Amino acid sequence: MDFDLSEEHRLIQQTARRVARDVIAPRAAEVDATGEYPEDYYQAFKEADLLGITLPADVGGTEAGTLALAIAVEEVAKFDCSAGLMLLLSSLSTHTVKFFGTDEQKQSYMGPVARGEKKAAFCLTEPDAGSDVANLQTRARRDGDEYVINGQKCYISGGPNADQVVVFAKTDPADPRTLNAFIVETDMPGFEVTSIDRKLGVRGVPTGVLTFDEVRVPAANIVGGQEGLGMRAPLATLNSLRPVVGARGVGLAQGAANYALEFAKERRAFGGPLTDLQAIQMKFAEMAIDIEAARMLVYQGSWMVDQGRYGPEHGHMLSVAKAFATEAANRVASEALQVLGGQGYMMDHPLERHYRDARQLMIVEGTSEIQRLVISRALMQGNLAYA
């Protein structure tokens, strides 16, 4: 069992680290304060070939894999969790087509995302159906050579500035077996960004409500070319990227811990630096334990996805990675802020931003509660056993 990164992975890590330090770190506080989408981040990712890390080479991607994406996300999230989400979205918005699309759909939809020509979004969550994917109500009815889509999606990361989206809809709202995915260009009549959310954190990537009002798409835009995807499409897409959500947490935790440590080395109290105090030392030891354990689970989960192991029978380990790493990020961000005391609560330091950003991670792409349901079900069914 080799735990060393490959040369390709190290090169991607170095590239992402350079972008993080040169482009993201100087702008992170401003992006959070203004809530404006950081186009300079996006262009830097494009120039560094980081947008198509998990996408095939024949559409313009680098085909480096999920572990490579997790490594890149980890590096940029040290300074801004929004930057980690931007990289994640390049895969979340395309994996449904990658796994189930036709060759033509892969070229026309995935290619522009991989090359940084178009931004895309993954449209699943609805106002009355968040974690309850089987209960989605967005409808697509067949009308000759077109499908007509009606419904509303909410909390769609990157949706307000997307050029194209994959939207999930049923031909029969009462039957989850009729769930399918459709490619929609956002300039099609009937598509509207109804509202943009006001968020606690991760403000650099807008989320919002997207409305589909009699949106007509060619029948060729149904992912896979025909009906019949069902629940396997959204679940495979989400499973394949759950470890990468965890990577956002690993990066955030490292950024928070490192900032607090540098502060504690300089801050003097009781006759010496804070780092001389055993209570502070114990905090940093706990942070390190959380970070190292989370990274191992995230890398293992990402490796599993690269081996094609992201089906229902493997989902519990991907859920373990996502749940532990995102909750570890919250613990580390909280303790790092505590080290700074009153100063940590102020916007003069990045820790209050890390603290706010971390809270999102336990909700997106399956809440911590949903991850525990997946894990407990695997235990009950014997897919996860310790005997």
Paired strand residues for 182: 167, 222
CB 54 within 8 A of CB 65: yes
Q: Cβ-count burial of 221 within 10 angstroms (0-12 exposed, 13-18 middle, 19+ buried)?
A: buried
User: In whole angstroms, what is the distance from residue 51 CA to residue 86 CA?
Assistant: 9
Name the catalytic one among 75, 327, 352, 365.
365
The C-alpha atoms of residue 288 and residue 250 are separated, in whole angstroms, by 11
CA 314 to each of CA 182, 358, 363: distance values in angstroms, whole numbers, following the listed order? 26, 26, 21
- For this structure, is 365 an active site residue? yes
Report the C-alpha gap between 292 and 179 in whole angstroms.
Answer: 39
Query: b vs e for 318-327, b when ≥16 Cβ sit within 10 Å of the residue's Cβ?
Result: bbbbbbbbbb
- Name the pairing type of β-strands 120-123 and 146-157: unpaired
As separate numbers, helices (DSSP H) first and strands (DSSP E) second, the chain gives 13, 9
Which residues touch 317 (CB under 8 Å, ≥6 apart)? Answer: 300, 301, 304, 384
> CA nearest 242: which of 100, 66, 65?
66
CA dihedral defined by 369, 371, 373, 378, rounded to 10 degrees? Answer: -160
Give catalytic residues, as residue numbers: 365
